[in-house]
Amino acid sequence: MVTWGVAGCAVAQPYPAASPTPQPSEQKLSVKEIARGLEHPWALAFLPEQRYLVTERPGRMRIVDAQGKIGPALKGLPVMAAGGQGGLLDVVLDKDFGKNRRLYFCFSEPAADGGSDNSTALASATLADGDAALKDVKILFSQQPKVASRLHFGCRIVQDAKGVLFLTLGERFSQKEQAQTLDNHLGKIVRIQPSGGAAPGNPFAGKSGALAEIWSYGHRNIQSAALGPDGRLWEVEHGPQGGDELNLVQPGRNYGWPEITFGENYGGGRIGKGTAMKGMEAPVHYWVPSIAPSGMALITSDRYGAAWKGSFVIGSLKFQRLHRVQLEADKVVRDEMLLPDLGERVRDVREGPDGWLYLLTDSAKGRLLRVQP
């Protein structure tokens, strides 16, 4: 692998000690099929009575029952710009769902004038009695500006213990330079109140030329995000050709895209000014070649043994497997490849209330799977 120094000279870049090479896992796993026939499922949430709430990228939300029966599409969803990488994407239940039946979802929102521009939007809704529709749908946030693109929506939602929402936002591919400026939402993570609006305590609130919703910037296309064992936010984002990154997200920090990266342009050629710059955060871990990450879960249960607790499990679209990333004091000490023979693109990874891992596979006849020894 060759990357480029700040002065523009090609320099050899070895795989660093901070990013251990992925290794085959010693633990043998299998999958149990819960359901199949979901059209490009994107995200999974767990409802009471061992039921599953699943989004399908073309713009549908469905409930799968405990026996694996796929229900009809829920009514009440807003109009979406479905196509390319866009459509109905992430969904999470409110931490008090059992009391308020509230949920949050994000999607590609079309321009109001019917044009080709679109952007990522975050909405809240209530699952109506009877579980056939959403009601009280409210748009909490719309990424600005809208762009004529079918790529890089980001769109992972994480709710913290206080109920505040993090939303990841892609830079829409054609607008990567905007990830470095604070007057737009492209290539950012935003932090939003559950009722809408910037959450109190955001790092750029009140600063001239900066949007109050922004939590961090310099991101490319984040499709994996989760809270760590201590409640801090972690994310995994798509690099270009190489350079997928695991980052510990801290408020107000710049994560470097497109100025620094361990990847290169598609087909070859440098991007930015190298792999490190003052004032920009280096990834905790990165992958070359890219694994094309999507979906991320923190292991909190004992289902897979004590060594797995506190690890992140991340889906790989490209290699059609999982990666278990083991941490010690914010440092990756092991990267294990799991389910190497799965043979399906992994779109989402979640730990269920029962402590097992669940996966969604991305295809026209996608599956909901449980991972077990």
Instruction: Tell me which residues are annotated as active site.
Output: 152
CA–CA separation, 133 and 128 (whole Å): 6
Strand partners, 238: 221
DSSP state of 145: S
Which of 306-338 are b and which e, b meaning 16 or more Cβ less than 10 Å from the residue's Cβ?
eebeebbbbbbbbbbbbbbbbbeeeebeebbbb
SS3 179: helix
User: Cβ distance 11 to 4 under 8 Å?
Assistant: yes
According to the 3-state scheme, what is the secondary structure of 283-325? CCEEECCCCCEEEEEECCCCCCCHHHCCCEEEEECCCCEEEEE
CB contact burial 44-55 (16+ within 10 A = b; e otherwise): bbbbeeebbbbb
* Rounded Cα gap, residues 66 and 135, in angstroms: 24
